[in-house]
Amino acid sequence: MEYKITSYNELDTIELAQNIESEKFPNMIICLEGELGSGKTVFTKGFANALGIKESITSPTFTIIKEYEGELPLYHMDVYRLNGNTEGIGIEEYYNKNGIVVIEWSDTIKNTLPEERLVIKFKIVGENKRVLIITPYGKKYEELCEAVL
């Protein structure tokens, strides 16, 4: 099942992230897809803030992975520059570190994503307006969507 949410501004995107964070669990995987400037990092900032992370959240474009300590560890990844090649990076190791993994540009590494995950596609439909298509894969993620969407 797919869910469609319209975000009219950054605050709407942050509110969605906070709602999803309220149902967090260890080893949660959130995959973010969408073009540059569509709201992926804004979502991550909202999620991190709800986790109690006070550090400034920026996209880890050049470092690939940034780690933050909050209620649960947050592993923020930007895999755009990998061009689909995750060999030697150790991304899969993060899936079972009892934290939350947020992957920007996850569609570029589909072969290394876990079977169970939450995928959010950001589509730009106006200057500030976005349509977010949320697809849960697995029972935990389906229950999460039912609880918050």
Summarize the confidence of residues 100-115 as an average pLDDT.
96
Bridge partners (DSSP) listed for residue 32: 104, 120
What does the pLDDT read at residue 33? 98
Distances (CA, A) of 54 to 68, 78, 98, 101: 9, 20, 20, 17
Per-residue pLDDT at 83 exceeds 90: no
What does the pLDDT read at residue 61? 78
Residue with tokens 């979502």, as numbered in its chain: 43
pTM equals 0.96
Tokens of 87: 């060999």
Model pLDDT for residues 22-71, shown as the tens digit of each residue? 999 999 999 999 999 999 999 999 999 999 999 999 988 788 999 999 99
**CA–CA gap between residue 96 and residue 142 (Å, rounded):** 20
How many Cα atoms sit within 13 Å of 92 on the Cβ side?
11
Per-residue pLDDT at 88 exceeds 90: no
Per-residue pLDDT at 84 exceeds 90: no
Please name each of the domains of the chain with its CATH number.
Answer: 3-148 (3.40.50.300)
